[in-house]
Amino acid sequence: MDQQRTIKEQKGVIAIITLLGIASFALAIVVSVTSVAIDDLRLANAGGVIDKTFYAAESGLNEGLYRLIKSPAAGKTYNLTVDGVPVVVTVGFGPTAYQRVVESRATDTNGNVRVVQVVADTSSFAGGFTYAVQGGSGGVQLDNNSGVIGDIYSNGNVTGSGSGNGRPTTTGSVWAAGGLIDRLIINGDAHAGSIQNSTVSGVSDLTTPPVKPFPILQADIDQWKADIVTVLTSNCLPAGSYCITSSQSLGSVRINGNLSIDNNRTLTLDGDLYITGDVTLNNNCTITINPAKGAESVRIISDGVITLGNNCTITGSGNPASFVFFISNYTSPDISHPAISLANNSASTVFISLNGVLSISGGNNTILNAGVSKTLHLNENATVEFKPALSSFFFSPAGGGGQQIGTQLGTWHEL
């Protein structure tokens, strides 16, 4: 009897221990599940913050792409707020002149940051000038009392004339990849293998700098010419030529001959012009860009010689980022037969001659904003004044038509 009672008591103890074990195991499971649930809740809450900044950054990216339709220039910054999250959108230069890098950065009040980026395809060319004057292998020649407000970069030499304070002056720095800087007053730094007869306010670096490509290439110009297909009906001789004898507007047309603008006449540019012959702007004429073009710049491309007479007034659209670009394809190394020659002139102009000579005559009003040429010659008293707005300019499609925006496949990524 006592033995049976002992066995029963032992079984009871085992049952109690077993129940306690099961209860402890169940409690451990409950604690574990609860802990996992709490961790999941924390992750969910954190994820909500991350999702919010991600949504804001994506919204900023879409806003940047949308704004490219209106203003396809690079170098733009936009600030906006999405669902209480501040977003900064930047539009920069892309891998090609027809692409832009759009970046969107969202930062919430807790310091959480999401940055996304994409490469956008556009139908507009975007470029930028760094120097007031950029010369090719023919170098840059400056006569006495001429001046450059800005920097000079030459793939050849940079040489001046005169003596003392009559030497040419630049407010910026000078680079001569040809190896020689001579007879200049330089208020910045000088970079060349040899610096002679010059006054340099900054550093004189006797290291020859590398050759630099032009900001606009011949392949770009050839493509723009090909894009302009609408031919303007000739109205004067020689055959194919067009003469502006009364003020009028032109744009996105090709002239199979010469273009001439009579004295005291105004040409308003609604788009680009391509002239297979020469361009002659007579005294006191005016060329301006239609104000509706906004920040857009316009090209006048000629396969011949471009000549600007005295007191021709050339202006952009009224927007400080709008410029008239004169581009000549005329090829001649002879400084007495320049591809582009201009007398007294006014602002909002850029002159480009990749294979010839750009000659700028003297005069108190001879001012252009940038010059790019294989050989560049500033005559006595001529001035080039660089405008910072030229660090980022754009052209709409040369043949006309609206802006087209898309994204380059495979370029979206998070930084």
> Are the C-beta atoms of residues 335 and 315 closer than 8 Å to each other?
no
More confidently predicted of 284 and 38: 284
pLDDT at position 332, please? 86
pTM across the whole model? 0.83
> Are the C-beta atoms of residues 263 and 279 closer than 8 Å to each other?
no
What tokens appear for 226 in the block?
Answer: 């090909």
| Residues whose CB is less than 8 angstroms from the CB of residue 345 and which lie 6 or more positions away in sequence, other chains included | 308, 312, 314, 365, 366, 367, 368
89 SS3 class: strand
Model confidence pLDDT, tens digit, residues 357-396: 999 887 655 678 999 999 999 999 888 999 999 999 999 9
First to last CA, the chain: 82
What tokens appear for 264 in the block?
Answer: 């005291």
Distance CA 393, CA 63 (A): 21
Please list the residues that pair with 204 across neighbouring strands: 190
Model confidence pLDDT, tens digit, residues 14-69: 443 344 343 443 333 233 322 332 233 233 344 455 578 999 999 999 999 999 98
Model confidence pLDDT, tens digit, residues 169-216: 999 999 999 999 999 999 999 999 999 999 999 999 999 999 999 999
DSSP 94-135: -SSTTEEEEEEEEE-TT--EEEEEEEEEESSEEE----SEEE
> Are the C-beta atoms of residues 394 and 94 closer than 8 Å to each other?
no
What tokens appear for 289 in the block?
Answer: 């860009």
One-letter amino acid of 130: T
Reading phi first (left if > 0) and then psi (alpha if -120 to 50, else beta), residue 372 is in: beta
Q: How far is CA 151 from CA 99, 138, 171, 172, 306, in A?
A: 27, 18, 7, 5, 25
- Are β-strands 370-378 and 349-360 bridged in parallel, bridged antiparallel, or unpaired? parallel
Distance CA 197, CA 53 (A): 60
> Are the C-beta atoms of residues 214 and 354 closer than 8 Å to each other?
yes
Q: How far is CA 207 from CA 124, 160, 210, 214, 238, in A?
A: 38, 20, 9, 21, 52
pLDDT-derived band at 347, boundaries 50, 70, 90: low
- Angle CA(202)–CA(205)–CA(206) in degrees, nearest 5? 145
Dihedral Cα 36, 41, 42, 46, nearest 10 deg: 140
Distance CA 249, CA 267 (A): 6
What are the backbone angles phi and psi of residue 284, rounded to the nearest 5°?
65, 20
pLDDT at position 363, please? 64
